[in-house]
Structure 1
Protein backbone atom coordinates (compact mmCIF):
# COMPACT_ATOMS: atom_id res chain seq x y z
CA UNK A 1 0.00 0.00 0.00
CA UNK A 2 2.38 2.60 -1.21
CA UNK A 3 1.90 6.11 0.10
CA UNK A 4 1.60 8.67 -2.71
CA UNK A 5 3.72 11.03 -0.63
CA UNK A 6 6.28 8.54 0.58
CA UNK A 7 6.59 6.07 -2.28
CA UNK A 8 10.34 5.55 -2.13
CA UNK A 9 12.90 2.84 -2.53
CA UNK A 10 14.31 1.36 0.64
CA UNK A 11 17.24 -0.83 1.63
CA UNK A 12 15.37 -3.23 3.90
CA UNK A 13 15.97 -6.28 1.69
CA UNK A 14 19.66 -5.44 1.29
CA UNK A 15 20.09 -4.88 5.03
CA UNK A 16 18.05 -7.94 5.98
CA UNK A 17 20.10 -10.23 3.75
CA UNK A 18 23.33 -8.70 5.05
CA UNK A 19 22.13 -9.53 8.57
CA UNK A 20 21.43 -13.13 7.54
CA UNK A 21 17.70 -12.88 8.26
CA UNK A 22 14.77 -14.27 6.31
CA UNK A 23 11.60 -12.24 5.81
CA UNK A 24 9.94 -14.44 8.43
CA UNK A 25 12.79 -13.88 10.89
CA UNK A 26 12.56 -10.12 10.56
CA UNK A 27 8.76 -10.14 10.66
CA UNK A 28 8.74 -12.14 13.90
CA UNK A 29 11.21 -9.74 15.51
CA UNK A 30 9.16 -6.61 14.82
CA UNK A 31 5.71 -8.15 15.21
CA UNK A 32 4.35 -8.16 11.65
CA UNK A 33 3.71 -10.79 8.99
CA UNK A 34 6.30 -11.83 6.42
CA UNK A 35 3.90 -10.50 3.76
CA UNK A 36 4.26 -7.02 5.26
CA UNK A 37 8.06 -7.29 5.07
CA UNK A 38 7.77 -8.38 1.44
CA UNK A 39 5.54 -5.42 0.60
CA UNK A 40 7.95 -3.00 2.31
CA UNK A 41 10.92 -4.41 0.41
CA UNK A 42 9.10 -4.08 -2.90
CA UNK A 43 7.93 -0.50 -2.14
CA UNK A 44 4.29 -1.60 -2.17
CA UNK A 45 3.82 -0.09 1.27
CA UNK A 46 5.60 2.64 3.16
CA UNK A 47 7.53 1.93 6.34
CA UNK A 48 5.09 2.96 9.04
CA UNK A 49 6.62 5.20 11.75
CA UNK A 50 5.84 2.64 14.45
CA UNK A 51 7.87 -0.01 12.57
CA UNK A 52 10.74 2.19 11.46
CA UNK A 53 12.51 2.21 14.83
CA UNK A 54 12.10 -1.55 15.27
CA UNK A 55 13.41 -2.28 11.78
CA UNK A 56 16.43 -0.08 12.39
CA UNK A 57 17.09 -1.82 15.71
CA UNK A 58 16.90 -5.34 14.28
CA UNK A 59 18.97 -4.43 11.22
CA UNK A 60 21.48 -2.54 13.40
CA UNK A 61 21.36 0.74 11.46
CA UNK A 62 20.14 4.27 11.99
CA UNK A 63 16.54 4.82 10.78
CA UNK A 64 17.74 7.03 7.93
CA UNK A 65 19.85 4.16 6.58
CA UNK A 66 16.68 2.21 5.78
CA UNK A 67 16.11 4.43 2.76
CA UNK A 68 17.88 4.62 -0.58
CA UNK A 69 19.65 7.69 -1.87
CA UNK A 70 19.36 11.02 -0.08
CA UNK A 71 15.62 10.88 0.52
CA UNK A 72 14.54 11.15 4.11
CA UNK A 73 12.05 8.83 5.84
CA UNK A 74 8.51 9.98 6.67
CA UNK A 75 8.17 12.38 9.57
CA UNK A 76 7.07 10.89 12.86
CA UNK A 77 4.35 13.51 13.35
CA UNK A 78 1.01 13.26 11.49
CA UNK A 79 1.03 14.68 7.95
CA UNK A 80 -0.42 18.13 7.36
CA UNK A 81 -3.28 18.68 4.93
CA UNK A 82 -1.03 20.05 2.24
CA UNK A 83 1.90 17.63 2.47
CA UNK A 84 3.20 17.09 -1.08
CA UNK A 85 3.66 13.63 -2.54
CA UNK A 86 7.05 12.35 -3.58
CA UNK A 87 7.79 13.88 -7.01
CA UNK A 88 6.40 11.67 -9.77
CA UNK A 89 8.26 12.09 -13.06
CA UNK A 90 5.98 12.57 -16.04
CA UNK A 91 6.01 13.87 -19.58
CA UNK A 92 6.06 17.66 -19.92
CA UNK A 93 2.52 18.98 -20.31
CA UNK A 94 0.88 16.01 -18.65
CA UNK A 95 0.07 14.80 -15.16
CA UNK A 96 -0.23 11.20 -13.93
CA UNK A 97 -3.54 9.55 -13.10
CA UNK A 98 -3.06 7.44 -9.98
CA UNK A 99 -5.00 4.60 -8.38
CA UNK A 100 -6.17 1.15 -9.28
CA UNK A 101 -8.63 -1.52 -8.31
CA UNK A 102 -12.36 -2.07 -8.47
CA UNK A 103 -14.51 0.39 -6.55
CA UNK A 104 -15.66 -0.60 -3.09
CA UNK A 105 -18.35 0.83 -0.83
CA UNK A 106 -18.97 4.58 -1.09
CA UNK A 107 -16.49 5.11 -3.90
CA UNK A 108 -13.53 3.48 -2.17
CA UNK A 109 -10.64 2.61 -4.48
CA UNK A 110 -7.02 1.55 -4.17
CA UNK A 111 -4.69 4.57 -4.00
CA UNK A 112 -1.26 2.99 -3.77
CA UNK A 113 0.87 5.19 -6.00
CA UNK A 114 0.16 3.03 -9.05
CA UNK A 115 0.25 5.12 -12.21
CA UNK A 116 -2.55 4.33 -14.65
CA UNK A 117 -1.78 6.77 -17.44
CA UNK A 118 -0.69 10.32 -18.25
CA UNK A 119 -3.23 12.94 -19.32
CA UNK A 120 -2.92 16.50 -20.55
CA UNK A 121 -2.26 18.89 -17.69
CA UNK A 122 -5.21 21.17 -16.85
CA UNK A 123 -4.32 24.89 -17.12
CA UNK A 124 -4.76 25.46 -13.37
CA UNK A 125 -2.04 22.89 -12.66
CA UNK A 126 0.50 24.07 -15.23
CA UNK A 127 3.88 24.26 -13.54
CA UNK A 128 2.60 22.75 -10.27
CA UNK A 129 5.02 20.07 -9.08
CA UNK A 130 3.56 16.75 -7.90
CA UNK A 131 0.09 17.45 -9.32
CA UNK A 132 -1.91 14.32 -10.09
CA UNK A 133 -5.39 13.07 -10.85
CA UNK A 134 -7.63 10.15 -9.93
CA UNK A 135 -10.78 8.69 -11.40
CA UNK A 136 -14.06 8.87 -9.48
CA UNK A 137 -15.47 5.49 -8.48
CA UNK A 138 -19.11 4.89 -7.66
CA UNK A 139 -21.95 7.37 -7.37
CA UNK A 140 -21.54 8.58 -3.78
CA UNK A 141 -20.68 12.13 -4.91
CA UNK A 142 -23.35 12.53 -7.59
CA UNK A 143 -24.46 14.98 -8.86
CA UNK A 144 -21.15 16.81 -8.22
CA UNK A 145 -18.88 14.05 -9.56
CA UNK A 146 -19.84 11.06 -11.68
CA UNK A 147 -18.32 7.58 -12.01
CA UNK A 148 -15.39 7.60 -14.42
CA UNK A 149 -14.89 11.36 -14.19
CA UNK A 150 -11.32 12.54 -13.58
CA UNK A 151 -10.53 14.92 -10.73
CA UNK A 152 -7.27 16.84 -10.57
CA UNK A 153 -5.33 17.64 -7.41
CA UNK A 154 -2.95 20.35 -6.25
CA UNK A 155 -1.33 18.74 -3.18
CA UNK A 156 0.27 22.00 -2.04
CA UNK A 157 -2.88 24.02 -1.37
CA UNK A 158 -4.39 24.25 2.12
CA UNK A 159 -7.69 22.45 2.58
CA UNK A 160 -10.67 24.30 4.02
CA UNK A 161 -14.17 23.30 5.05
CA UNK A 162 -16.43 22.46 2.07
CA UNK A 163 -13.45 21.88 -0.27
CA UNK A 164 -13.60 18.76 -2.39
CA UNK A 165 -10.67 16.48 -1.65
CA UNK A 166 -8.89 13.26 -2.46
CA UNK A 167 -8.00 11.47 0.76
CA UNK A 168 -5.71 8.52 1.34
CA UNK A 169 -6.47 6.26 4.28
CA UNK A 170 -4.30 3.49 5.71
CA UNK A 171 -6.20 0.26 6.25
CA UNK A 172 -6.23 -1.23 9.74
CA UNK A 173 -4.66 -4.33 8.20
CA UNK A 174 -1.29 -2.96 7.09
CA UNK A 175 -0.85 -5.76 4.55
CA UNK A 176 -3.66 -4.21 2.48
CA UNK A 177 -3.30 -1.40 -0.03
CA UNK A 178 -4.21 2.10 1.08
CA UNK A 179 -7.70 3.32 0.28
CA UNK A 180 -8.61 6.44 -1.65
CA UNK A 181 -11.83 8.46 -1.58
CA UNK A 182 -13.17 11.53 -3.37
CA UNK A 183 -15.27 13.44 -0.83
CA UNK A 184 -16.13 16.85 0.60
CA UNK A 185 -14.01 18.01 3.52
CA UNK A 186 -15.79 18.86 6.77
CA UNK A 187 -13.12 18.94 9.48
CA UNK A 188 -10.03 17.28 10.90
CA UNK A 189 -8.63 17.37 14.41
CA UNK A 190 -6.25 15.25 16.48
CA UNK A 191 -8.88 12.51 16.79
CA UNK A 192 -10.66 12.18 13.47
CA UNK A 193 -11.16 13.24 9.88
CA UNK A 194 -14.77 14.01 8.94
CA UNK A 195 -15.94 13.91 5.32
CA UNK A 196 -19.31 14.05 3.64
CA UNK A 197 -20.86 12.71 0.46
CA UNK A 198 -24.04 13.48 -1.46
CA UNK A 199 -25.58 10.01 -1.44
CA UNK A 200 -26.35 7.95 1.69
CA UNK A 201 -23.54 5.68 2.82
CA UNK A 202 -23.96 2.15 1.59
CA UNK A 203 -22.86 0.72 4.95
CA UNK A 204 -24.91 3.06 7.16
CA UNK A 205 -27.08 1.18 9.70
CA UNK A 206 -30.80 1.88 9.51
CA UNK A 207 -30.89 3.40 12.99
CA UNK A 208 -28.23 6.12 12.52
CA UNK A 209 -29.30 9.80 12.47
CA UNK A 210 -30.10 11.09 9.01
CA UNK A 211 -27.09 13.43 8.89
CA UNK A 212 -24.71 10.58 9.73
CA UNK A 213 -25.92 8.63 6.71
CA UNK A 214 -23.99 11.12 4.56
CA UNK A 215 -20.93 11.39 6.83
CA UNK A 216 -17.69 9.39 6.87
CA UNK A 217 -15.32 9.42 9.85
CA UNK A 218 -11.76 8.11 10.00
CA UNK A 219 -9.35 7.77 12.90
CA UNK A 220 -6.80 10.57 12.51
CA UNK A 221 -3.96 8.07 12.89
CA UNK A 222 -5.06 6.37 9.68
CA UNK A 223 -5.11 9.57 7.60
CA UNK A 224 -2.16 9.66 5.22
CA UNK A 225 -3.05 12.56 2.93
CA UNK A 226 -5.83 15.09 2.33
CA UNK A 227 -5.35 16.92 -0.98
CA UNK A 228 -7.49 19.61 -2.58
CA UNK A 229 -9.30 19.01 -5.87
CA UNK A 230 -8.94 21.98 -8.23
CA UNK A 231 -10.69 20.70 -11.34
CA UNK A 232 -12.41 17.81 -13.06
CA UNK A 233 -13.28 16.53 -16.50
CA UNK A 234 -13.53 13.59 -18.85
CA UNK A 235 -10.26 12.19 -20.22
Structure 2
Protein backbone atom coordinates (compact mmCIF):
# COMPACT_ATOMS: atom_id res chain seq x y z
CA UNK A 1 0.00 0.00 0.00
CA UNK A 2 1.37 3.42 -0.98
CA UNK A 3 1.65 6.41 1.32
CA UNK A 4 -1.18 7.95 -0.70
CA UNK A 5 -3.58 5.08 -0.10
CA UNK A 6 -2.56 4.90 3.57
CA UNK A 7 -3.20 8.61 4.04
CA UNK A 8 -6.57 8.50 2.27
CA UNK A 9 -7.70 5.45 4.22
CA UNK A 10 -6.61 7.02 7.49
CA UNK A 11 -8.37 10.35 6.82
CA UNK A 12 -11.57 8.67 5.67
CA UNK A 13 -11.64 6.64 8.87
CA UNK A 14 -10.94 9.72 11.03
CA UNK A 15 -13.77 11.63 9.36
CA UNK A 16 -16.07 8.58 9.29
CA UNK A 17 -16.52 8.82 5.51
CA UNK A 18 -17.09 5.56 3.67
CA UNK A 19 -15.71 4.91 0.21
CA UNK A 20 -19.25 4.89 -1.14
CA UNK A 21 -20.00 8.27 0.44
CA UNK A 22 -16.75 9.77 -0.81
CA UNK A 23 -17.45 8.51 -4.32
CA UNK A 24 -20.84 10.20 -4.26
CA UNK A 25 -19.42 13.48 -2.95
CA UNK A 26 -16.76 13.78 -5.66
CA UNK A 27 -18.93 12.19 -8.39
CA UNK A 28 -16.72 9.20 -9.04
CA UNK A 29 -17.61 5.53 -9.18
CA UNK A 30 -17.18 3.49 -6.01
CA UNK A 31 -14.84 1.00 -7.75
CA UNK A 32 -12.58 3.91 -8.78
CA UNK A 33 -12.37 5.10 -5.17
CA UNK A 34 -11.74 1.53 -4.04
CA UNK A 35 -8.86 1.20 -6.53
CA UNK A 36 -7.40 4.46 -5.24
CA UNK A 37 -7.63 3.40 -1.60
CA UNK A 38 -6.11 -0.01 -2.34
CA UNK A 39 -3.17 1.50 -4.23
CA UNK A 40 -4.14 0.27 -7.71
CA UNK A 41 -4.46 3.87 -8.95
CA UNK A 42 -1.86 6.53 -8.22
CA UNK A 43 -3.37 9.65 -9.78
CA UNK A 44 -7.11 10.30 -9.65
CA UNK A 45 -8.58 12.95 -11.97
CA UNK A 46 -10.53 14.57 -9.13
CA UNK A 47 -7.63 14.76 -6.72
CA UNK A 48 -8.54 18.29 -5.61
CA UNK A 49 -12.09 17.27 -4.75
CA UNK A 50 -10.87 14.21 -2.87
CA UNK A 51 -8.33 16.26 -0.94
CA UNK A 52 -11.00 18.79 -0.02
CA UNK A 53 -13.46 16.17 1.22
CA UNK A 54 -10.77 14.44 3.28
CA UNK A 55 -9.33 17.75 4.49
CA UNK A 56 -5.87 17.11 3.08
CA UNK A 57 -3.72 20.05 2.01
CA UNK A 58 -3.31 20.22 -1.78
CA UNK A 59 0.49 20.42 -1.56
CA UNK A 60 0.54 17.30 0.58
CA UNK A 61 -1.81 15.57 -1.85
CA UNK A 62 0.47 16.42 -4.79
CA UNK A 63 3.51 15.06 -2.97
CA UNK A 64 1.64 11.84 -2.17
CA UNK A 65 0.57 11.45 -5.80
CA UNK A 66 4.15 11.95 -7.01
CA UNK A 67 5.42 9.31 -4.59
CA UNK A 68 2.65 6.91 -5.63
CA UNK A 69 3.49 7.35 -9.32
CA UNK A 70 7.13 6.45 -8.65
CA UNK A 71 6.13 3.41 -6.60
CA UNK A 72 3.77 2.29 -9.36
CA UNK A 73 6.67 2.05 -11.81
CA UNK A 74 6.04 5.41 -13.53
CA UNK A 75 3.16 4.08 -15.65
CA UNK A 76 0.27 5.88 -13.97
CA UNK A 77 -1.53 8.79 -15.53
CA UNK A 78 -1.27 12.22 -13.92
CA UNK A 79 -4.55 14.13 -13.76
CA UNK A 80 -5.10 17.07 -16.10
CA UNK A 81 -5.85 19.32 -13.16
CA UNK A 82 -2.32 18.96 -11.77
CA UNK A 83 -0.20 21.80 -13.07
CA UNK A 84 2.43 20.46 -15.42
CA UNK A 85 4.86 23.06 -14.09
CA UNK A 86 4.38 21.75 -10.55
CA UNK A 87 5.71 18.40 -11.77
CA UNK A 88 8.19 19.47 -14.45
CA UNK A 89 9.48 23.01 -14.73
CA UNK A 90 11.61 22.68 -17.86
CA UNK A 91 9.06 21.87 -20.56
CA UNK A 92 9.21 23.88 -23.76
CA UNK A 93 6.28 25.90 -25.17
CA UNK A 94 6.21 23.86 -28.38
CA UNK A 95 5.47 20.67 -26.49
CA UNK A 96 8.96 19.12 -26.43
CA UNK A 97 10.30 17.87 -23.14
CA UNK A 98 13.83 18.09 -21.82
CA UNK A 99 14.83 14.43 -21.39
CA UNK A 100 16.82 15.15 -18.23
CA UNK A 101 14.94 13.54 -15.31
CA UNK A 102 13.77 15.88 -12.60
CA UNK A 103 14.30 14.47 -9.10
CA UNK A 104 11.17 14.73 -6.91
CA UNK A 105 11.10 14.98 -3.16
CA UNK A 106 11.75 11.24 -2.87
CA UNK A 107 15.12 11.58 -4.65
CA UNK A 108 14.01 9.21 -7.40
CA UNK A 109 14.05 10.50 -11.02
CA UNK A 110 10.70 11.10 -12.67
CA UNK A 111 10.26 12.28 -16.24
CA UNK A 112 6.90 13.45 -17.51
CA UNK A 113 5.79 12.97 -21.12
CA UNK A 114 3.25 15.17 -22.92
CA UNK A 115 -0.01 13.73 -24.20
CA UNK A 116 -0.45 15.23 -27.67
CA UNK A 117 -3.31 15.42 -30.13
CA UNK A 118 -6.97 16.18 -29.93
CA UNK A 119 -9.33 13.36 -30.82
CA UNK A 120 -11.94 14.38 -33.37
CA UNK A 121 -13.76 11.08 -33.70
CA UNK A 122 -14.78 9.17 -36.80
CA UNK A 123 -14.43 5.50 -37.60
CA UNK A 124 -10.87 6.03 -38.83
CA UNK A 125 -9.77 7.29 -35.39
CA UNK A 126 -8.36 10.57 -36.66
CA UNK A 127 -6.57 13.03 -34.37
CA UNK A 128 -5.74 16.68 -34.80
CA UNK A 129 -2.11 17.42 -33.88
CA UNK A 130 -2.35 21.14 -33.22
CA UNK A 131 0.66 21.25 -30.89
CA UNK A 132 -1.53 21.46 -27.80
CA UNK A 133 -0.40 19.44 -24.80
CA UNK A 134 -3.52 17.84 -23.32
CA UNK A 135 -1.90 16.32 -20.27
CA UNK A 136 1.31 14.93 -18.81
CA UNK A 137 1.92 11.29 -17.92
CA UNK A 138 4.75 9.53 -16.16
CA UNK A 139 7.32 8.15 -18.58
CA UNK A 140 7.70 4.35 -18.86
CA UNK A 141 11.25 3.09 -18.33
CA UNK A 142 11.57 2.04 -22.00
CA UNK A 143 11.36 5.69 -23.10
CA UNK A 144 13.27 7.30 -20.24
CA UNK A 145 16.18 8.36 -22.46
CA UNK A 146 14.28 9.02 -25.70
CA UNK A 147 14.15 12.73 -26.63
CA UNK A 148 10.71 14.06 -27.62
CA UNK A 149 8.85 10.86 -26.71
CA UNK A 150 5.14 11.46 -26.22
CA UNK A 151 1.82 9.72 -25.65
CA UNK A 152 -1.64 9.76 -27.23
CA UNK A 153 -5.00 8.67 -25.87
CA UNK A 154 -6.83 6.15 -28.00
CA UNK A 155 -10.24 7.46 -28.97
CA UNK A 156 -12.81 5.30 -30.75
CA UNK A 157 -12.77 1.66 -31.77
CA UNK A 158 -10.82 1.66 -35.06
CA UNK A 159 -7.97 -0.40 -33.54
CA UNK A 160 -10.08 -2.60 -31.26
CA UNK A 161 -9.34 -5.18 -29.87
CA UNK A 162 -5.65 -4.27 -29.95
CA UNK A 163 -6.31 -0.92 -28.29
CA UNK A 164 -9.39 0.13 -26.37
CA UNK A 165 -10.82 3.60 -26.18
CA UNK A 166 -9.23 5.51 -23.32
CA UNK A 167 -5.96 3.57 -23.47
CA UNK A 168 -2.63 5.40 -23.58
CA UNK A 169 -0.06 4.62 -26.26
CA UNK A 170 3.52 5.88 -26.12
CA UNK A 171 5.54 6.81 -29.22
CA UNK A 172 9.28 6.53 -29.93
CA UNK A 173 10.03 9.32 -32.47
CA UNK A 174 13.55 8.10 -33.25
CA UNK A 175 12.80 4.46 -33.99
CA UNK A 176 12.18 3.33 -37.60
CA UNK A 177 8.87 1.60 -38.27
CA UNK A 178 8.84 -2.01 -39.45
CA UNK A 179 6.06 -3.98 -41.11
CA UNK A 180 3.57 -5.04 -38.44
CA UNK A 181 4.48 -2.25 -36.00
CA UNK A 182 1.71 -0.16 -34.52
CA UNK A 183 2.45 3.46 -35.32
CA UNK A 184 1.26 7.03 -34.89
CA UNK A 185 1.29 8.67 -38.32
CA UNK A 186 1.04 12.40 -38.91
CA UNK A 187 -0.37 13.44 -42.29
CA UNK A 188 -0.61 16.86 -43.90
CA UNK A 189 -3.98 18.60 -43.31
CA UNK A 190 -6.57 18.74 -46.06
CA UNK A 191 -6.69 22.53 -45.81
CA UNK A 192 -3.99 25.13 -45.25
CA UNK A 193 -3.65 26.65 -41.78
CA UNK A 194 -5.08 23.47 -40.24
CA UNK A 195 -3.07 21.18 -37.91
CA UNK A 196 -1.71 17.85 -39.15
CA UNK A 197 -3.97 14.83 -39.02
CA UNK A 198 -2.89 11.87 -36.90
CA UNK A 199 -3.76 8.18 -37.06
CA UNK A 200 -2.99 5.20 -34.85
CA UNK A 201 -2.70 2.19 -37.17
CA UNK A 202 -0.58 -0.83 -38.05
CA UNK A 203 2.30 -0.09 -40.42
CA UNK A 204 2.14 -2.13 -43.62
CA UNK A 205 4.70 -0.23 -45.67
CA UNK A 206 5.21 1.95 -48.71
CA UNK A 207 3.82 0.70 -51.98
CA UNK A 208 4.90 2.91 -54.84
CA UNK A 209 4.00 6.46 -53.92
CA UNK A 210 1.54 5.42 -51.17
CA UNK A 211 1.84 4.69 -47.46
CA UNK A 212 -0.32 1.70 -46.57
CA UNK A 213 -1.74 1.27 -43.05
CA UNK A 214 -4.03 -1.35 -41.55
CA UNK A 215 -6.85 -0.90 -39.08
CA UNK A 216 -8.93 -3.54 -37.32
CA UNK A 217 -12.44 -2.19 -36.85
CA UNK A 218 -13.70 -2.22 -39.49
CA UNK A 219 -10.97 -4.38 -40.95
CA UNK A 220 -9.31 -2.68 -43.88
CA UNK A 221 -6.42 -0.68 -45.26
CA UNK A 222 -5.90 3.05 -45.42
CA UNK A 223 -3.58 4.71 -47.94
CA UNK A 224 -1.98 8.15 -48.00
CA UNK A 225 0.25 9.77 -50.62
CA UNK A 226 3.90 9.43 -49.62
CA UNK A 227 4.40 13.18 -50.06
CA UNK A 228 1.66 13.90 -47.47
CA UNK A 229 3.41 11.98 -44.67
CA UNK A 230 4.96 14.17 -41.98
CA UNK A 231 6.11 11.49 -39.56
CA UNK A 232 5.76 7.80 -38.65
CA UNK A 233 6.46 6.99 -34.98
CA UNK A 234 6.33 3.40 -33.67
CA UNK A 235 4.29 2.67 -30.54
CA UNK A 236 6.54 0.98 -28.01
CA UNK A 237 4.31 0.84 -24.93
CA UNK A 238 0.63 1.01 -24.05
CA UNK A 239 -1.65 0.58 -21.08
CA UNK A 240 -4.73 1.73 -19.24
CA UNK A 241 -4.21 4.67 -16.91
TM score, norm. by length of structure 1: 0.55
- What's the offset of the Cα at 1:126? 0.9
Query: Which of 172, 178, 184 is residue 190 of structure 2 equivalent to?
Result: 172
* RMSD across aligned positions (CA): 1.8
Alignment partner of 2:124: what SS?
helix
Contact 2:95-2:131 within 8 A present in 1 as well: no
Aligned to 1:225: 231
Instruction: Name the counterpart of 1:112.
Output: 130
1:96 aligns with 114
Tell me how far 1:172 sits from its aligned partner.
2.5
Identify which of 177, 196, 211 aligns with 2:214.
Answer: 196
Structure 1 runs (4+) greater than 4 angstroms displaced = none
1:159 aligns with 2:177: yes
**What do the CA deviations read for 1:100-131 (whole angstroms, capped 9, x no partner)?**
14323311111222111111001111111111
Contact residue 119 and residue 126 of structure 2 kept, 8 A: no
- TM-score normalised over the length of structure 2: 0.54
- Does residue 143 (structure 1) correspond to residue 161 (structure 2)? The answer is yes
- Shift of the alpha carbon at 1:177? 2.1
Contact 1:189 1:220 in 2 (8 A): no
* Aligned counterpart, 1:182: 200
The answer (yes or no) to whether the contact 2:168–2:240 under 8 Å persists in 1 is: yes
**Contact (CA 8 Å) 1:96, 1:118: kept in 2 or not?**
yes
Corresponding pairs, count:
138
Alpha-carbon shift at residue 171 of structure 1 (Å): 1.9
**Structure 2: runs of 5+ lacking an equivalent:** 1-93, 103-110
- CA–CA separation in structure 2 for the residues paired with 1:167 and 1:143: 19
Kept after mapping to 1: 8 A contact 2:124/2:158: yes
Q: Structure 1: which 5+ runs fail to align? A: 1-85, 201-212
**Separation in 2 of the partners of 1:224 and 1:112?**
13
Partner of 2:175, secondary structure, is: coil
SS at match of 2:148: coil
Give the aligned partner of residue 57 of structure 2.
Answer: none
- Distance in 2 (CA, whole Å) between partners of 1:159 and 1:180 is 16
Q: State how far apart, in whole Å, the 1-side matches of 2:95 and 2:124 are.
A: 29
